[in-house]
A = this chain, B = another copy of it.
Amino acid sequence: MSILVTIEHEQNTQTILASQGETLLTLLQNNGFHLSADCGGQCFCGKCKVRVTGGGELLTGEDAFLNEAEIANGVRLACAVSIQNDLTVSLPARKQAKILTNGLRRQFELDAIIRKVVVHLPKPSLNDQRDDATRLLEAIGKPTLAMPLQLLYRLPSTLREQDFVVTVTVDTQTVIAVEAGDTSDVGYGVAVDIGTTTVVCYLMDLKSGEFVDTASQVNAQAVFGADVISRIRHTMEQDDGLETLKSRITSQIFELTQAMLVKNNINPQHLYGMLFAGNSTMLHLLCGFEVKHIAAAPFIATQMQAVTVLAQEIGIKFNAHMRAYILPHMSSYVGADITAAILASGLYEQDDLSLLIDIGTNGEMVLGNKDKLLCCSTAAGPAFEGANIACGMGGVAGAINSVRYVDGQIAVTTIDAKPPIGICGSGIIDAVAAMLQMGVVDETGRLLDVDEVDESLATYLYETDEGNAFQLTENVSITAKDIREVQLAKAAIAAGIEVLMEQMGVAVKDIDHVYLAGGFGSFLNQESAAAIGLLPQELIEKTLVIGNGAGMGAVMAMLSKTHQEMATAICRNAKCIELSGMPSFQDYYIDKMMFE
């Protein structure tokens, strides 16, 4: 007699042949259906719930895992159903997580790196004298998982507090916590993006995959220098420089997180992990690793691999057991922030060829798809962040953030519509594009003299001791030197793109998508970027702004083991091109200096 089991799963129905006496869990697992069964099918964890029609009586002990509504509704544990006749089974829908960024919506299976498992342990007896640790680990089906000493101290009393019902929190390597009773509803993690400029912390509910809160601040190390190199210099010039920078960032992350926990009434004992993205210098400083060899050729990091430690080992202590996960870097200058942005973009999963660009003081670029990844970093300089620009400033209220030349008139907007007090990166690119359009800057980047231009334009130009200048508003000007800074920066980025294409053996037309990551990318006027030659014109319409790709990638890695592991695979597979040693980069760089 053949027994048929009909399986309903996410709008699909499938019928498979079963053997009499086989458990439903085994049948489902052997046929490729994913069903959680932390205890390995021993009826300890209560995870493998399915709705069954025709499955026979509830087993003793099975009901402990089911509430009344579930029992009424025919819910069973698949491991407790011994197949004796034809059955119909409805599988639960898989939990999904969604990440929204400016322009990109990513959906993936929720499978957080930290999980909580409720187990009803078999009680010890003269016939079952397993030690407490083994009893627990075998019940969750992970007999070889590490069990820290810290947890072993309280384990015997915790197991006995609620009569051998406990909730175990684990990641892939170790037990993180053991709590008496069922505490599976409360579990949180924080994903952190440590930018050189800004630190952002995302507080996540690990069970639902939802954002609970977000907190951000200017990086507390900023007083020691705006960019990576000046932070590194500080560690070399001051005896306690490394320690100071480390404690600045760890204290800041502690305080940002602490404030979110208080605001949301969350017990710090239920915060089990933090996951960090950031460039290699920021994450080295977080850990307290020496950074001086990153600054000078051949640019060697202490540690680029993923690091997993107790959070208290790096100086962040909410409780003794909280874990810290640090994403891996691709190179000293293509860091874990880019690894995370790659995760957020999804480009490593696609057949299509994509270009990912994150423009800051350095411009990091990745060209690739699911088969191949090439990356590089160019020292663009801080022009696009408003530094080294006469009237330059960051993106704050009163900064000119867009400039247009329309009907013979210059029109500017400012952040928060405040009176203009300076100009930020996106404004500078617009301004240079407008000046090219007006014809007051030639293709070599020279700002023309007053007597070289029409009268209508001459009113914008004036001479200073340091060369010509262009009066944008009453108190904001662009100098000839500013234009040179923009030229150097855009040439570095554009030449980097050329080298990646050359190494990949592709042309601009072969690129299907461009992802712009980072704050600057979000505000950039893409037409202006093309006008000054920062990006090829052909790519503009293929461009998608993904906002804080590093932060979103960190959240994805926290909510998905698959993506956390993918981060390591990405770093292992990516080939990093060191531009400083490459003659063709120099050629492209000089070539791209021109405005065309």
Q: Contact residues of A with B, CB < 8 Å?
A: 124-134, 147, 149, 152-153, 155-157, 287-290, 292-293, 297-305, 307, 309, 313-314, 329, 331-332, 576, 578, 580-581
Contacts and interface: CB of A to CB of B under 8 A. Distances in A.
A153 B581 CA distance: 29
Given A152-B289, A576-B129, A124 B309 contact: no
A272 B585 CA distance: 49
Given A127-B581, A133-B305, 14 more contacts: A126-B297, A126-B298, A129-B298, A131-B303, A131-B304, A132-B293, A132-B301, A133-B304, A149-B288, A152-B289, A153-B288, A153-B289, A156-B289, A156-B300
Contacts of A299: 129
A226 to B, nearest CB: 25
A155 B287 CA distance: 13
Contacts of A309: 149
Contacts of A302: 131-133, 152, 155-156
Contacts of A292: 156
A290 B156 contact: yes
Contacts of A149: 287-288, 307, 309, 313-314
B131 A300 contact: yes
A75 to B, nearest CB: 34
The 5 closest A-B pairs by CB, nearest first: A131-B301, A131-B304, A126-B581, A133-B303, A156-B290
Nearest to A304: B131
Contacts of A288: 149, 153
Interface centre among A130, A131, A157, A313 (most CB of B within 10 A): A131
A581 to B, nearest CB: 4
Given A131-B301, A131-B303, A302-B152, A580 B147 contact: no
A541 to B, nearest CB: 36
A300 B129 CA distance: 6
Contact of A153 (B126, B290, B293): B290
24 contacts: A124-B298, A126-B298, A126-B580, A126-B581, A127-B581, A129-B299, A129-B300, A129-B576, A130-B300, A130-B304, A131-B300, A132-B293, A132-B302, A133-B302, A133-B303, A149-B307, A149-B309, A152-B303, A153-B290, A155-B290, A156-B289, A156-B292, A156-B300, A157-B290
Contacts of A129: 298-300, 331-332, 576, 578
Contacts of A155: 290, 302-303
A128 B153 CA distance: 46
Contacts of A578: 126-127, 129
Given A149-B314, A314-B149, A578-B126, A131 B298 contact: no
A134 B301 CA distance: 10
A128 to B, nearest CB: 8
Interface centre among A130, A132, A332 (most CB of B within 10 A): A132
A579 to B, nearest CB: 10
Contacts of A132: 293, 300-303
Contacts of A152: 287, 289, 302-303
Contacts of A157: 290
Nearest to A332: B129
B147 A303 contact: yes
Contact of A298 (B125, B303, B314, B581): B125
A213 to B, nearest CB: 29
Contacts of A153: 288-290
A301 B124 CA distance: 11
A243 B329 CA distance: 43
A49 B414 CA distance: 72
A157 B289 CA distance: 11
